Structure 1
Amino acid sequence: MKATDLRGPARTLALVQLISRTGDGAYYVTSALFFTQIVGLSPAKLGLGLTIAWTVALAVGVPLGHVSDRRGARETAIFFYCCAALAVGSYIFIRSFPLFVLAATLYAIGQRSGSAAQQALLAGVVPKDQITTVRAFLQAGYNAGLAIGAALGGMVLFFDTREAYLIAFALDACGFLVAALVLLKVPTVAQTPAKEKGEKSQTVLKDRPYVAISLLNLILVLHGPLIDVALPLWIVLHTEAPKWVVAAMFVLNTLTIVVFQVRVARRVTNMTSAARYVVKGGLLLGASCVVFAFSGSGGSAWSAVLLLLTATAIQTLGEMMQMPATWEISFGLTPEGRHGQYQAFFGSGLTVAELIGPLVLTGLLVYWGSFGWILLGALFVAASFLMVPAVRWGELRLDAAKATAGEAQ
């Protein structure tokens, strides 16, 4: 896709990502400290509440994705973004743990289901051969928004007052509301008609190749909580590197994706190239784990910094290859009219990674050390190679379903 092709619905969806994630960036940086230091929740209650919230969002993701197919992706995305805005706005009134769980759950459902509906909308308004490249533009907007929001959140932490935190939440709520208004500029997509009496129910959970691909992708997206949670602990407990290198690694990862993700995504044009890039991405993620392991070998502080930044660069390149490849696969293997539930299920892998990733990666890397890094790298490589036959399986199933549908007409 040429740069001049990013017009109309594609540009609008990229703007939606930038606006909504700017507020989210400020929220992510400030929310934990607000609830523990201002509201007075214990860290244990905070963790329990968030686990409950995201578990509920995970459980209702596919049914709500089906609602998106039936009621319209644009309308569903707008509704759930408004729910997220309402949830964040309600934080002003929270004084107890039950109210926190209720608001956090509404936020998690609104954020995740709104994003899934937006992916279904993308599939409906963008030509199929351009979805992956446009999705890369959206990912660049996503990361840019998070970076801007994180900087604004840093200012809130500098002032560290209740009023400053509430301004951050107001920014997030307004971001979702403005994003919902901007979505009105995107054309509506056709709704999936209700199944006729006696017609068999067809859900993503019955699509075994797609389920297998989603589970393999769950392993690959563990690189997400890696930088956020496990690496800071690894750096402090196992290396001589200064703490500021965590921020440098985050900036390197985020800005690199903003600048180069679209260029990499343009090379993923079909299932064959997608499978190839998944393998390349998995190999690079595995290689980065090996370099991370060497950063704890006991050298000088500056050698540790060099190894950590090198590993981050390798991991980021692997991430930029893996992500567009799995976008191409997830959209390409989705039957027409079911993008809502399929994208909700595929995206649930990221939710699961956010739930189990901190615990699994902390145990694997902090307590097992370098061996844990090698094992994690092996998991990345194995998952990427297994994706190739899984994709072929999915193509065969989709072709068979199309042939069956053609005979029935």
Structure 2
Amino acid sequence: MTNRPRRLLTLAQLANSLGDGAYYVTSALYFTEVLGLAPARVGLGLTLAWALGSLVGLPLGRLADRRGPRGTSVLLALGTSAAVASFLVVRGTVPFVLTACLYASAQSGLAAARQALLAGLVPARERTGLLARLQSTLNGGLAAGAAVGGLALGAGSAAAYRGALALDALCFLVCALLLLRLPAVTAAAVVGTVTGGRRFAVLRDRPYALVALLNAVLLLRLPLLSLALPLWITERTGAPAWLASGLFVLNTLAVTLFQVRAARAVTGLGSALRVLRRSGLVMLASCAVFALSAGRSAWPAGAILIAGAVLQVVAEMQQSAGSWQLSFDLAPADRTGEYQGLFGTGVTVARTLGPGVVTWLLLDWGTPGWLLLGVLMPVASYAMGPAARRAAGRRTPREAVRPALAGDCR
């Protein structure tokens, strides 16, 4: 594989993460202050949208297998761009919810289609390393985009908020153009068994579905930095509220700098499972350290929270590298998009259900909640072993067919 596809994949990741960073820090205030929507309606609308996104990721991933991942990725990137641009003109709750559903669906499908595209372009032994590089790029882009969004927040005007969202729409348009320049990958329906096989065979692949479910449990860490820790800091510790932002920056910089290095140890199924087990234990240690900050004054609590955040980001990088390897190694090559669509629902499920679960455990239960959440992580990571080995044992020689490089079927 030449460096050009890698470079284009990286630039496409940078483009959409830059826009996402600006969107994430400004969208809530734009929806409430500029569109005039009640916060409860915004929350409900986004919850419904991401619930739908978790359902459509699978059929959109199958579409990428049947019609070609490059063309599908381009269309979904354009769809995301159109959805964000539509936020600039919608008025009222119902149009907002419909636009949010389009946004979440396009984002979920794009994630699956891009994974299928990467699988068609990159040899199996190189995928985890490239995904680690893309994850580092994503975090760097999010940080830069968040800085742009911060300028919009500082200005506090409707025009500034609209400018941040317009930047996101433009960035996804650039992402689509970059993906279009990638080499085409033949649709799996042409070279594999998708056309004659069962529809949504991944739903009948119970071992793989179990691996995806266990991964969703491990992804309950996602709401920690954005929601649970800010509330924990202000309600249960004497640390200053701004420390929550500092912990987010620490996490982003660590992933940007060290994710590639963390992924080097993952080269196959065995090493992926070892790294996942280790990540579960480190996450347990992180939760236990976070729990120690309860009731502490500013400086002791701050030091404990920073230590917990360091352990948390180490666990995050290990879990990411291990799960990437499993998601590809256990999927039939002619159904990569379909399988990635199911595996990717773990993110949307964690983001939809995770905030309620995590805040209930941590804020209502306190230290026992932290410990329960921590114990859940090694339990899920150790359960990955038998589930993954059973999934690998179900693979057949026919399922190992690799999509060939050729003209994209659209």
C-alpha distance in structure 2 between counterparts of 1:196 and 1:23, whole Å: 34
C-alpha distance in structure 1 between counterparts of 2:194 and 2:359, whole Å: 49
Do the aligned partners of residues 383 and 404 (structure 1) sit closer, same or farther apart at CA in structure 2, a change above 3 Å counting?
Answer: closer
C-alpha distance in structure 1 between counterparts of 2:114 and 2:214, whole Å: 23
Residues 53-132 of structure 1 correspond to what in structure 2 (within 5 A)? 53-132=49-128
* Cα deviation 1:121-143 (Å, max 9, x = unaligned): 00000111000000001111111
Match of 1:293 in 2: 291
Do the aligned partners of residues 403 and 53 (structure 1) sit closer, same or farther apart at CA in structure 2, a change above 3 Å counting?
Answer: closer
* Cα deviation 1:48-99 (Å, max 9, x = unaligned): 1101111111111111111110011011010011011111111121220011
Do the aligned partners of residues 204 and 94 (structure 1) sit closer, same or farther apart at CA in structure 2, a change above 3 Å counting?
Answer: same
Match of 1:241 in 2: 239
Do the aligned partners of residues 196 and 22 (structure 1) sit closer, same or farther apart at CA in structure 2, a change above 3 Å counting?
Answer: closer
- Does 1:307 pair with 2:304? yes
Do the aligned partners of residues 403 and 198 (structure 1) sit closer, same or farther apart at CA in structure 2, a change above 3 Å counting?
Answer: closer
Gaps of 5+ in 1: none
- Does 1:324 pair with 2:310? no
Give the TM-score normalised by structure 1: 0.95
- Does 1:383 pair with 2:370? no
Alpha-carbon offset, residue 198 of structure 1:
7.1
Alpha-carbon offset, residue 405 of structure 1:
8.9
C-alpha distance in structure 1 between counterparts of 2:253 and 2:320, whole Å: 16
Match of 1:353 in 2: 350
Aligned residue type for 2:353: I
C-alpha distance in structure 1 between counterparts of 2:399 and 2:26, whole Å: 52
- Does 1:364 pair with 2:361? yes
Gaps of 5+ in 2: 402-410
- Does 1:335 pair with 2:329? no
Do the aligned partners of residues 214 and 197 (structure 1) sit closer, same or farther apart at CA in structure 2, a change above 3 Å counting?
Answer: closer
Aligned residue type for 2:9: L
C-alpha distance in structure 2 between counterparts of 1:248 and 1:288, whole Å: 17
* Cα deviation 1:338-371 (Å, max 9, x = unaligned): 1111111101000000000111111010110010
Alpha-carbon offset, residue 249 of structure 1:
0.3
Contact 1:282 1:318 in 2 (8 A): yes
Aligned residue type for 2:64: S
SS at 2:188 equivalent: coil
Do the aligned partners of residues 71 and 119 (structure 1) sit closer, same or farther apart at CA in structure 2, a change above 3 Å counting?
Answer: same
- Does 1:271 pair with 2:269? yes
C-alpha distance in structure 1 between counterparts of 2:357 and 2:296, whole Å: 27
Alpha-carbon offset, residue 197 of structure 1:
8.6
C-alpha distance in structure 2 between counterparts of 1:299 and 1:177, whole Å: 48
- Does 1:142 pair with 2:144? no
Residues 111-260 of structure 1 correspond to what in structure 2 (within 5 A)? 111-193=107-189, 200-201=198-199, 203-260=201-258
Match of 2:281 in 1: 283
Match of 2:408 in 1: none
Contact 2:189 2:195 in 1 (8 A): no
Alpha-carbon offset, residue 403 of structure 1:
7.1
Do the aligned partners of residues 266 and 199 (structure 1) sit closer, same or farther apart at CA in structure 2, a change above 3 Å counting?
Answer: closer
C-alpha distance in structure 2 between counterparts of 1:100 and 1:330, whole Å: 33
Overall identity of the aligned pairs, in %: 48
C-alpha distance in structure 1 between counterparts of 2:218 and 2:195, whole Å: 40
Contact 2:194 2:334 in 1 (8 A): no
C-alpha distance in structure 2 between counterparts of 1:329 and 1:214, whole Å: 9
Alpha-carbon offset, residue 299 of structure 1:
2.5
Contact 1:6 1:134 in 2 (8 A): no
Aligned residue type for 1:388: G
Equivalent residue in structure 2 for 1:21, among 17, 22, 36? 17
Aligned residue type for 1:275: L
- Does 1:402 pair with 2:402? no
Give the TM-score normalised by structure 2: 0.95
SS at 2:113 equivalent: helix
C-alpha distance in structure 1 between counterparts of 2:103 and 2:309, whole Å: 31
Match of 1:45 in 2: 41
Alpha-carbon offset, residue 203 of structure 1:
1.5
Contact 2:67 2:189 in 1 (8 A): no
* Cα deviation 1:256-295 (Å, max 9, x = unaligned): 0000000110110010100000001111111100000001
Alpha-carbon offset, residue 402 of structure 1:
2.3
Contact 1:66 1:338 in 2 (8 A): yes
Contact 2:262 2:317 in 1 (8 A): yes
Do the aligned partners of residues 348 and 157 (structure 1) sit closer, same or farther apart at CA in structure 2, a change above 3 Å counting?
Answer: same
SS at 1:326 equivalent: helix
C-alpha distance in structure 2 between counterparts of 1:62 and 1:122, whole Å: 17
C-alpha distance in structure 1 between counterparts of 2:30 and 2:185, whole Å: 40
Contact 2:362 2:369 in 1 (8 A): yes
Aligned residue type for 2:331: T
